[in-house]
């Protein structure tokens, strides 16, 4: 296989319900119709529900897909492992549930020649989301603006982000080194601080970022806990702010 034009990274932790819905087949069908070479990297984050067996079978039957078996380090660790393993000229990470459909890639690709990073944005729309999720989103916007100082980006949390390869390598290798790798955890962890810190560093490195509205539909998941996730998000934002004030990010700047 030639060096792919695009790498797509999909983290997976106990995703059997989504896998059985055919999400990988949907991704394969869309990318298979494109005129560019591609690879899809599934990063299994220590699943215990049979997802790995499903993913292994799918990868064997689809030559453009490969599987990384990660120890359970949470979404940040899984995405980072996939992004640093990618070989494409451009690298997208997206969620297994496909709440933002893979077809929305067409909107992001229009801008990647002019920008270093192109991110999907749900704006204020949260189709089908319960009130608790909508309130969490509004609270996150306020907190990240006040505490971290990220302004001008409406949606940091959408799991649909496209990077130039050299930009991706710089950001994700620095994040991995900064955190001294990602520790093995127990239970689910989809920490809001990961996306905020990623874009915060991108701004510090003066990378250009384009935000593009994308379609998004709420997908029910048991991993979202409004109280627990909100507390963790606040802790993450405070940590980012303190790291910045203490100068801990400076040695990673360009």
Could you read off the pLDDT tens digit of each residue along the chain, which spans 254 residues? 678 999 999 999 999 999 999 999 999 999 999 999 999 999 999 999 999 999 999 999 999 999 999 999 999 999 999 999 999 999 999 999 999 999 999 999 999 999 999 999 986 555 555 656 666 666 777 788 889 988 889 899 999 999 999 999 999 999 999 998 888 776 665 677 899 999 999 999 999 999 999 999 877 655 556 667 778 888 999 999 999 999 999 877 76
Collapsed DSSP state (helix, strand, coil) of residue 100: coil
In a domain, 150, yes or no: yes
First to last CA, the chain: 33
Residue 224 domain boundaries: 6-252
Domain CATH number, residue 216: 3.90.550.10
Whether 153 maps to a domain, the answer reads yes
Burial of 233 (C-beta count, 10 Å sphere; 0-12/13-18/19+): buried
Q: How far is CA 104 from the centre of its chain?
A: 15
Instruction: Return the H-helix or E-strand segment holding 134.
Output: helix 131-143
Which residue matches tokens 């991993």? 223
Query: Quick one: DSSP state of residue 127?
Result: B
| pLDDT of 186 | 66
Residue 164: strand pairing partners: 90
Sign of CA dihedral 173, 177, 179, 184: positive
Q: How many CB atoms lie within 10 A of CB 174?
A: 17
pLDDT of 132 reads: 60
Integer Rg of the chain from CA = 17
Candidates 87, 74, 76, 72; CA nearest to 8 is 87
Q: Is residue 125 one of the residues assigned to a domain? A: yes
Question: For the range 243-251, what are the long-range contacts, defined as Cβ-Cβ under 8 Å and sequence gap of 24 or more?
Answer: 244/148, 244/200, 248/178, 249/178, 249/201, 249/204
Q: Which residues have CB under 8 Å from 111's CB, separation 6+?
A: 118, 210, 212
Q: What is the pLDDT of residue 126?
A: 52
Determine, yes or no, domain membership for 128. yes
Judge whether 1 lies within some domain. Answer: no
| pLDDT at site 144 | 84
pLDDT at 229: 76
Around 21, how many Cα atoms within 13 Å sit in the side-chain half-sphere? 11
pLDDT of residue 219: 76
Say how many domains are in the chain: 1
Q: Which residues pair with 117 in a beta bridge?
A: 163, 209
CA distance 148 to 203: 12
């Amino acid at each position: 296989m030639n060096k792919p034009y695009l790498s797509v990274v999909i983290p997976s932790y106990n995703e059997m319900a989504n896998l059985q819905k055919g999400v990988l087949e949907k991704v394969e069908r869309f990318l298979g119709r494109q005129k560019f070479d591609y690879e899809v990297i599934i990063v299994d984050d220590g699943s215990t529900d049979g997802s790995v067996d499903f993913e292994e079978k799918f990868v064997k039957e689809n030559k453009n897909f490969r599987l990384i078996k990660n120890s359970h380090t949470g979404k940040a660790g899984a995405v980072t492992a996939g992004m640093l393993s990618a070989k494409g000229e451009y690298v997208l990470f997206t969620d297994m549930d496909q709440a933002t459909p893979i077809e929305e890639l067409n909107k992001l690709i229009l801008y990647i020649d002019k920008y270093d990073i192109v991110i999907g944005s749900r704006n204020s729309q949260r189709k089908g989301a319960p009130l608790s999720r909508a309130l969490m989103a509004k609270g996150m916007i306020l907190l990240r603006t006040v505490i971290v100082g990220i302004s001008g980006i409406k949606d940091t949390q959408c799991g649909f982000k496209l990077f130039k390869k050299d930009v991706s390598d710089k950001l994700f290798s620095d994040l991995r080194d900064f955190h001294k790798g990602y520790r093995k955890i127990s239970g689910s962890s989809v920490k809001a601080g990961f996306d905020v810190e990623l874009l915060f560093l991108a701004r510090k490195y003066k990378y250009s970022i384009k935000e593009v509205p994308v379609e998004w539909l709420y997908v029910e998941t048991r991993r979202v806990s409004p109280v627990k996730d909100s507390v963790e998000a606040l802790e993450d934002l405070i940590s980012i702010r303190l790291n910045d004030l203490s100068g801990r990010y400076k040695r990673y700047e360009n």
